[in-house]
Amino acid sequence: MRKLLLFAIVCMLGLFNTLSAQNEENVEILLNEDFESYEVGAKIAKDGADHWTTWSKQEGGAEDGSVAELNGEKCAHFTYGNDQVLRLGGYQAGVFELEYDVYVPEGKGGYLNILHQFEGNTSWAMQSFFQMTNDGGDIATIAPGHGSVHAGLGNVADLPCVYEGWMHFRIVINANVDKAEYYYTMPGNEEVKAFEWQWSKDSFGESIAGRKLDAMNFWPPNNNAEYYLDNLTLKRIGGESSAAITFDKESIEANMPKDDVTTVELEIENVGTSIAEYVAWIDYGQGTASNKENLVSYSLEDMSTTTTIGWSTETAVTFEIASLYPASAYAGSVMGTNITQAAYFLGEFKTETGETVPMLEPGTDMIFRIYGQGINGKPGDLLAEKVLPSEEIVLDWNAVVFDEPVMLTGFDFYLAVEMTQCKGGSSMVLDGNSEGELVGFGDLCRQGNGTAFRPLTEFTAGEKFGNLHLMVFCVGDPVSAGWAELDKKDGMIEVGATETINVDFSTFGLKKGEKYEATILFNTNTEEGTIELPLSLYVWGEDVEEILSNTYNIYPNPTAAQVTVEGENINYIAVYNSVGQLVKVVRTQNNVVDMSANENGVYFFNIVDNAGNSSVQRVVVAK
């Protein structure tokens, strides 16, 4: 059973224009459910149309509601234990009108929601209570004569409700301009507009969830809940819509001298009839196949400072922990290699009195996942998943081998582990290095797979515990990468609008006379889907012998404070910012560079040895 989203009332930012008038001559009926064709007592998903299912897809079971007869009319009947889902088509563009009638028996209540995403990264678009109210937690309270609706940026409406009468609701969704309006009609009264909101927001305005109109969920939340549903229609108004984007360049090229930087602008225009969305990255391709292994992790190898934290709940709780690895963080080490394995440390820890601290709920598995780059701060597509059965989990490093390797070619990726902590447990294991913690990179967590990962400091009142003991194993020879970067990785472009992305080139650490090639990939919501733009960089001059950029091991990278350069006979380290300006020169016995006073961003370490040879490596500062 999914958890009702946490909600905080905030002021609505801005006013939205009223949705355009409907063109009644261009209306397409997409769904029409009056239940008159059903037999009384029939199971809705098992015996009905294909657009019906249940939350766990167990059609015909306890979650599946039934058809009843009320006042001579057939309708859907939902009671506690039902968890019905109506698929709405997954539309991401167009103007839609969704209408339905709800009848609540005396003393009962009800709940339903609209979902931006049903399967996969579940996310809520709107939540509505009848004869019940909800304060943003898990419990809905019976409130005769009242209902509450949550949608968008903290919009909450206290609606009137009646018992033993059909209440009518109408929602107009304009996905083309990202707006929605909510209307209600009580028996014998005129229609009233409750509010309007930004459609792409999740139901409590915590984040952008997307514009998809995916499904509707009917769920009586407790044993006092029961209601009937009838006359549900979904219409599309004004015909089909779609986004379409064009670029002002067919390819992007740069010709530069060594140890220089430049920027090339790329302009994108939405020439379609709906909002355009994109996720972009630079694809550097795959390196040479080999058995060379590399370990990628933010956590300290020293386990002496390891600490654990857990959820303070009265029941078991399922959640995901994660580390985010931006392409800029692994460009100099494992770009072009394949993720083959992942691991998470789960140790035995005791209290000061010697009592063993419990960890996971008995009988539950660990699920390791690799997510790709997403939009609006959320993980993208699921690239790999591997279940570690409960009987194989140990109080040590737990590792899995993915069935198919994940090729690292330039996108940001997340390593995540889902687990179920027992009541009073302590299952999040971190390295305890609060001074070197990479907030927002190495200490992420979320409950509910439709939300964004957030730093643990947001769950622990700002207290820092370091980085999670998570790691990935990569196999193969890396490719040269990091010589180009995008200043913007995702976005939404309104109809007729343009947006500019800067492509930043750098020739630090590259060879003279060499041409470097890659591809900018745009994953879009257009009919084209994925769009590719060739990218090339030529470095002036004759080829010379240079030390490879991976001669030295630099860690942690990204960093929030100190960086260690692992190597011998280092004379000095010159630090440059992303535009090629010299920041400082460091001469140190222990090869440690303090970056705590530097702003977030990309820096280049020019490492010069005692023989005068140099190697340039990229370092990301992220606090």
**CA separation for the pair 562, 435 (Å, rounded):** 9
Same domain, 125 and 143: yes
Same domain, 352 and 433: yes
What number is the average pLDDT over the span 494-514?
A: 91
Same domain, 496 and 593: no
- Supply the pLDDT for residue 434: 78
Whether residue 176 lies inside any domain: the answer is: yes
- Supply the pLDDT for residue 212: 92
Considering 168, 202, 237, which residue would you say is the last residue of a domain?
A: 237
- Supply the pLDDT for residue 358: 77
Query: Is a pLDDT exceeding 60 seen at residue 384?
Result: yes
Between 582 and 257, the higher pLDDT residue: 257
- Supply the pLDDT for residue 615: 79
Tracing tokens 């990202």 back to the chain, one arrives at: 178
Other beta carbons within 10 angstroms of residue 565's beta carbon come to 21
CA–centroid distance for 544 within its chain: 44
Q: 320: domain CATH number?
A: 2.60.120
**CA separation for the pair 125, 68 (Å, rounded):** 28
Banded model confidence at residue 10, pLDDT cuts 50, 70, 90: very low
- Supply the pLDDT for residue 226: 96
- Supply the pLDDT for residue 551: 66
**CA separation for the pair 68, 50 (Å, rounded):** 20
Whether residue 22 lies inside any domain: the answer is: no
Banded model confidence at residue 300, pLDDT cuts 50, 70, 90: confident
Query: Is a pLDDT exceeding 80 seen at residue 355?
Result: no
**CA separation for the pair 154, 433 (Å, rounded):** 36
Cis peptide before 556 (omega within 30 of 0): yes
For the ranges 121-135, 272-286, 434-448, which has the lowest average pLDDT? 434-448
Q: 262: domain CATH number?
A: 2.60.40.10
- Supply the pLDDT for residue 521: 97
What number is the average pLDDT over the span 191-207?
A: 87
Distances (CA, A) of 251 to 265, 501, 505, 520, 531: 11, 14, 14, 9, 12
Exposure on the CB side of residue 542, measured as CA atoms within 13 A:
2
What number is the average pLDDT over the span 335-341?
A: 96
Considering 450, 475, 500, which residue would you say is the last residue of a domain?
A: 475
**CA separation for the pair 91, 28 (Å, rounded):** 14
Other beta carbons within 10 angstroms of residue 240's beta carbon come to 11
Q: 583: domain CATH number?
A: 2.60.40.1930
- 577 bridge partner residues: 603
CA–centroid distance for 79 within its chain: 33
E strands within 355-497?
A: 366-371, 382-388, 397-407, 413-421, 428-430, 444-446, 454-455, 470-475, 484-486, 490-493
Considering 508, 539, 570, which residue would you say is the last residue of a domain?
A: 539
Which phi and psi (to 5°) does residue 99 adopt?
Answer: -125, 150
Whether residue 314 lies inside any domain: the answer is: yes
Banded model confidence at residue 541, pLDDT cuts 50, 70, 90: low
For the ranges 54-68, 84-98, 304-318, 572-586, which has the lowest average pLDDT? 572-586
Percent of the chain topping pLDDT 90: 56
**CA separation for the pair 82, 97 (Å, rounded):** 26
Query: Is a pLDDT exceeding 50 seen at residue 14?
Result: no
4 φ/ψ sector (left φ>0, alpha ψ -120 to 50, else beta):
beta
61 φ/ψ sector (left φ>0, alpha ψ -120 to 50, else beta):
beta
- Structure token pair of residue 509: 């650490």
Between 300 and 413, the higher pLDDT residue: 413
Same domain, 527 and 564: no
Whether residue 3 lies inside any domain: the answer is: no
Query: Is a pLDDT exceeding 70 seen at residue 19?
Result: no
Banded model confidence at residue 613, pLDDT cuts 50, 70, 90: confident
Model pTM score: 0.76
Same domain, 189 and 128: yes
Same domain, 467 and 524: no
Between 210 and 81, the higher pLDDT residue: 81
Query: Could you give the 3-state DSSP secondary structure of residue 76?
Result: strand
Pairing outcome for strands 601-609 and 614-621: antiparallel
Which phi and psi (to 5°) does residue 391 adopt?
Answer: -70, -10
Asked whether the beta carbons of 230 and 75 are under 8 A apart, the reply is: yes
Q: What is the largest CA-CA distance in the chain?
A: 94
Asked whether the beta carbons of 207 and 72 are under 8 A apart, the reply is: no
**DSSP letter assigned to residue 299:** S
Between 75 and 449, the higher pLDDT residue: 75
209 φ/ψ sector (left φ>0, alpha ψ -120 to 50, else beta):
alpha
Banded model confidence at residue 545, pLDDT cuts 50, 70, 90: very low
Per the structure, the count of domains in the chain is: 4
**CA separation for the pair 283, 306 (Å, rounded):** 36
**CA separation for the pair 358, 418 (Å, rounded):** 17
DSSP 497-541: -EEEEEEEEE-TTPPTT-EEEEEEEEEESSTT-EEEEEEEEEE-S
Banded model confidence at residue 614, pLDDT cuts 50, 70, 90: confident
Whether residue 402 lies inside any domain: the answer is: yes
- Supply the pLDDT for residue 113: 95
Same domain, 393 and 455: yes
- Supply the pLDDT for residue 139: 65
Closest by CA to 102, choosing from 178, 174, 154, 160, is 160
Asked whether the beta carbons of 198 and 179 are under 8 A apart, the reply is: yes
Between 113 and 591, the higher pLDDT residue: 113
- Supply the pLDDT for residue 157: 82
Asked whether the beta carbons of 575 and 586 are under 8 A apart, the reply is: yes
Same domain, 592 and 501: no
Query: Is a pLDDT exceeding 60 seen at residue 11?
Result: no
Whether residue 8 lies inside any domain: the answer is: no
Same domain, 507 and 576: no
Between 187 and 605, the higher pLDDT residue: 187
Same domain, 441 and 532: no
CA–centroid distance for 546 within its chain: 40
At residue 543, what is the residue type? D
Whether residue 12 lies inside any domain: the answer is: no
400-446 pLDDT per residue, tens: 999 999 999 999 999 999 999 998 888 899 988 877 667 778 999 98
For the ranges 15-29, 120-134, 173-187, 543-557, which has the lowest average pLDDT? 15-29
Same domain, 457 and 502: no
Asked whether the beta carbons of 395 and 347 are under 8 A apart, the reply is: yes
Query: Is a pLDDT exceeding 90 seen at residue 21?
Result: no
**CA separation for the pair 340, 327 (Å, rounded):** 18
462-487 pLDDT per residue, tens: 888 889 999 999 999 999 888 999 99
- Supply the pLDDT for residue 135: 59
Asked whether the beta carbons of 63 and 55 are under 8 A apart, the reply is: yes
Measure the CA angle with vertex 48, ends 43 and 49; round to 5°: 155
For the ranges 45-49, 208-212, 574-578, which has the lowest average pLDDT? 574-578
Whether residue 15 lies inside any domain: the answer is: no
For the ranges 64-78, 158-172, 411-425, 549-563, which has the lowest average pLDDT? 549-563
Q: What is the mean pLDDT of the chain?
A: 87
What number is the average pLDDT over the span 267-291?
A: 94
Query: Is a pLDDT exceeding 90 seen at residue 522?
Result: yes
Banded model confidence at residue 16, pLDDT cuts 50, 70, 90: very low
- Structure token pair of residue 14: 């801005």
CA–centroid distance for 387 within its chain: 21
Asked whether the beta carbons of 174 and 47 are under 8 A apart, the reply is: no
**CA separation for the pair 223, 229 (Å, rounded):** 18
Query: Is a pLDDT exceeding 60 seen at residue 24?
Result: no
Pairing outcome for strands 553-555 and 562-566: antiparallel
CA–centroid distance for 443 within its chain: 15
Q: Which domain covers residue 535, as residue numbers? A: 245-284+482-539
Same domain, 401 and 525: no
Banded model confidence at residue 547, pLDDT cuts 50, 70, 90: very low
**CA separation for the pair 439, 298 (Å, rounded):** 11
Between 393 and 545, the higher pLDDT residue: 393
Write down how long the chain is. Answer: 623
Query: Could you give the 3-state DSSP secondary structure of residue 115?
Result: strand
Q: Which residues of 490-520 are buried (b: 16+ CB within 10 A; e: fewer)?
A: bebbebeeebebebbbbbbbbbeeeebebbb
- Supply the pLDDT for residue 586: 85
Query: Is a pLDDT exceeding 80 seen at residue 277?
Result: yes
- 231 bridge partner residues: none
Banded model confidence at residue 9, pLDDT cuts 50, 70, 90: very low
- 360 bridge partner residues: 421
Query: Could you give the 3-state DSSP secondary structure of residue 47?
Result: helix
Query: Is a pLDDT exceeding 70 seen at residue 20?
Result: no
What number is the average pLDDT over the span 282-286?
A: 95
Say if residue 551 is exposed, middle or buried (CB neighbours under 10 Å; 0-12, 13-18, 19+): middle
Query: Is a pLDDT exceeding 70 seen at residue 371?
Result: yes
Contacts of 240 (CB under 8 A, 6+ apart): 93, 94
**DSSP letter assigned to residue 81:** T
Banded model confidence at residue 153, pLDDT cuts 50, 70, 90: low
